[in-house]
Structure 1
Amino acid sequence: MACFMRMLLVGFASRLHGESYYKALFRGTVEALSGFKGLEVHPSIVTEPSAIDAGGYDLVLAYLLTGGTSKLAYRVLTSAARRPVVILAHSKHNSLASALSLRSRLAEAGVKVKLLYFRDRDDLLEKFTLLYKGVAAGYGLQHLRIVEVNDQPDVSAEGKLFADKFGAEIIHVGYEELWRVAEEAGAGELRELRDAVGRYIDLSGVEEEHLDKVLRVYYALRRLTSTHKANAVVIDCFPLILKYKVTPCLAVAMLNAEGVPTACENDYYSLIPLHASLALTGHPGWVANPSGVTSDGRLRFAHCTIAPSLGRNCFLMPHFESGRGYAVACEYKAGAVLFVRVDRDINGLTVYRGTVVRSGMLEPGYCRTQLVVDTGALKPEEFIENATGNHHVFIPWSEGLTEALKHMAWWLGWRVDFRN
């Protein structure tokens, strides 16, 4: 279910700088940004106080084409509907000087504001792409439609807190409804799902009866997501394992691989970076537990639900705690990662950098996919001392990822703390 924010690009200029100059400059920028969904352009460059209608937009892009525009832009923007503002500034004609003045004025007036300075068209595209990804990730978080599966009569307290915080919509599904849908899967549907899993995971050696039961959970979550037009899933899995003698690990892994952020253990804190990973990198995140320090002094993480698109040499084996079928074991493909934890008050992100040293089903005493990470100057004991919870979400590293996370945090009004 796509949901795009609406952005209004408004150019501001002083006529002292020459109409032909700033019109050509504005036209070039409009062309450069034309590929971004949801972007609309104000029909005329603003050179004197006038009214603009920003009421239907989520974000205003105020492009200061020349100097001498900070007071003008301030008057226009504060008289319009109060929307977050990104100021665009280039390197000539005192654009940056006016942008710095405008940022200060808007911040003092209580407007959420960010300055994006660029040197040329290529620099603009690179920086604006990261801004767009980050802001779109935050916006998408506020427009999630989540299926929550639990054994309670209604949405959990954690779900209600999440909905209050972001305005997301949560659809409650009980275990009985989940299993009713699961039992509707016919032989053809199960064969289709087995083929989908087999494209990623070696299924040799699995017991067909047990695999079919696991695939029914996968089928049900897929169907429920589609029926409710949802774009995320949270499932309280341990009571499900006890009641139905089956784990949802493979279903969680496959949904994440298919681009539906899915969190196990009813963990809404992890759902946030799972969503962010897909939005910012195009790759799913992976929820993992800190599982101690290795003999060579590195952090170990482990969990049973890795999206197989993140791995290689993947196979299925019994779930760690319960011994039920099936958990996912993979070697992790990415070499560099960020791992992220959302604060308990849901007002900030703590972000760590890591290099994968080894991964896979390394030892029997842990969850089935294990990751040993070199955290550089950050000592494992320091991490353990300061960690604010168990689940951390691993995101494959890509250029500009940290900047995009900062933009997402700005949109949400969060702090972001990079620890190493």
Structure 2
Amino acid sequence: MNIALVSIISEIHAEERINKTLADKYEFLHNNFEITEITFDKVKDHDFSDYDLIINFIKTGGSEENFAQIFEHLPRPIYLYAVEINNSLPAALEILSFINKQGVEAKILHGENEDLLAEIKELIEYRKIRTKISEARIGIIGRSSDWLIGSQINREAAAQHWGPKFIDLEMEEFYSLLENVEAEAAQKTAEKYFEQAEKMLESNKRDLIEAAEIYLALKKLTKDHNLDALTIRCFDLVEKLKNTGCLALALLNDEGITAGCEGDIPAVFTMYLAEELTGQTPFMANPVQIDSKKDQISFAHCTVPISISEKFILRSHFETGLGVGIQGILEKGAVTVFKIGGSGLEEYFVAEGEIIENMNSENACRTQIKVDLPQSSAYFLSDAIANHHIIITGHHAAVINQFLAKE
């Protein structure tokens, strides 16, 4: 792990003497990280792009003015390493107040070496994820479904806050790729998942082959545009092709390509962030029933990734009875429910619970789970961030809260 250490010191101090008093701090840093030290007067001309983290070492009191001179040239967020001697911490507090007034994110790193080591490693991981998100390419194929009236975003604000590029793609480009899918490849894909499924109900093998063609066309579109994530106006497929994107989206998610339906940008962004933070494949679903007395929420959708299902059944798409949807049976146990929304993707909800039942109603989307989600009913009934929410197996609220607290 490569750290740039910006040395900030008052000019009234002899740096060689100060560095001797900080020998144990340097030993700690060099024993755990690859350190490149940069004097504050060299900051303006330094390239910080190749470092895992940039830390500003506030070595002495009286260094505040020198920090102010280089403030505009420092990468964000700004981390201040303050120690218990040489009036380092008082100076860092003054600097922190200055930074906060500029509206820039900053934090003081201070404490025992063991705690600092854990915190710095966490910040490095945070920076890696944050950088990856800022460079992400998210494709919107078609436009958002007409009924997503509460899921619209200000793309400029969202891009400014998070940094990803939202790429509009026409449905016609997808249809063109669909026409050129190799029949043999679609046949092999269909056979593979037919053999893996517990059974097939309303759908037939022809439906499955056509669903596989949709998957292969979307995969090609993803490759052509170098997409990290995508969402598609999937009900257009029903009207034009008499089939759905449910299988395609499930398989893309299984392959690590974040894929959501209905052109829902907040939902697919939440899915992408969830997978980056937790390493788990997410499932986009609708809350379909709320038992506020028991704090139990039922979720359902037709696009569950096969990799998170104990077993799965090939079904038709619930609303239309066409094409191929997936009824996944999920393992009972720990789960996290997560959603990011708001005009600039600045709001979020996260809660931990337990999957307590797989259901099989004919009046809901095919994969159906009941989740015991303590103290969450009021949120869904009063403050919900639109309809789609993201299901992640395991308990991950702590890492999500820690990450988003830095935003």
TM-score exceeds 0.5: yes
- 1:278 counterpart (265, 275, 281): 275
Count of residue pairs the alignment pairs up: 391
For residues 384 and 70 of structure 1, the distance between their equivalents in structure 2, rounded to whole angstroms, comes to 52
For residues 126 and 155 of structure 2, the distance between their equivalents in structure 1, rounded to whole angstroms, comes to 20
Contact conserved, 2:286 with 2:301, CA < 8 A, in 1? yes
Return 5+ residue gaps in structure 1 as ranges. 1-5, 35-40, 412-420
Deviation at 1:319, TM superposition (A): 1.3
Q: How does 1:9-408 map to 2 (within 5 A)?
A: 9-12=5-8, 15=15, 18-20=18-20, 22=22, 25-26=25-26, 28-34=28-34, 41-44=35-38, 46=39, 50-53=41-44, 56-57=47-48, 61-64=54-57, 66-68=59-61, 71=64, 74-78=67-71, 80-81=73-74, 83-89=76-82, 96-121=89-114, 123-150=115-142, 161-162=154-155, 165-166=158-159, 168-191=164-187, 193-194=189-190, 197=193, 201-202=197-198, 207-294=204-291, 298-333=296-331, 335-378=333-376, 380-398=377-395, 401-408=397-404
- Deviations 1:146-171 (CA, angstroms, capped at 9, x unpaired): 2322279xxx9989942563153344
SS at match of 1:111: coil
Deviation at 1:16, TM superposition (A): 8.2
| Distance of aligned partners of 1:337 and 1:97 in 2 relative to their CA distance in 1, 3 Å threshold | farther
SS at match of 1:86: strand
| Distance of aligned partners of 1:184 and 1:71 in 2 relative to their CA distance in 1, 3 Å threshold | same
When Rg is computed on C-alpha atoms for both structures, the one with the higher figure is: 2
Counterpart of 1:417 in structure 2 is: none
| Distance of aligned partners of 1:53 and 1:315 in 2 relative to their CA distance in 1, 3 Å threshold | farther
**Matching residue's letter, 1:276:** L
| Distance of aligned partners of 1:393 and 1:116 in 2 relative to their CA distance in 1, 3 Å threshold | farther
**Matching residue's letter, 2:32:** A
- Deviations 1:258-299 (CA, angstroms, capped at 9, x unpaired): 222212111011122111111111112221111122495511
For residues 335 and 3 of structure 2, the distance between their equivalents in structure 1, rounded to whole angstroms, comes to 31
SS at match of 1:185: coil
Deviation at 1:103, TM superposition (A): 1.6
Contact conserved, 1:137 with 1:275, CA < 8 A, in 2? no
For residues 65 and 197 of structure 2, the distance between their equivalents in structure 1, rounded to whole angstroms, comes to 60
| Distance of aligned partners of 1:17 and 1:321 in 2 relative to their CA distance in 1, 3 Å threshold | farther
Contact conserved, 2:274 with 2:282, CA < 8 A, in 1? yes
**Matching residue's letter, 2:281:** P
For residues 81 and 192 of structure 1, the distance between their equivalents in structure 2, rounded to whole angstroms, comes to 53
For residues 249 and 354 of structure 1, the distance between their equivalents in structure 2, rounded to whole angstroms, comes to 26
State, as a whole percentage, how many aligned pairs show the same letter.
23
SS at match of 1:220: helix
TM-score (norm 2): 0.81
Contact conserved, 1:337 with 1:396, CA < 8 A, in 2? yes
Deviation at 1:179, TM superposition (A): 2.5
Stretch deviating more after TM superposition (238-247 or 357-366): 357-366
Deviation at 1:9, TM superposition (A): 3.7
TM-score (norm 1): 0.79
- RMSD of aligned C-alpha atoms? 3.6
**Matching residue's letter, 1:112:** E
For residues 373 and 62 of structure 2, the distance between their equivalents in structure 1, rounded to whole angstroms, comes to 46
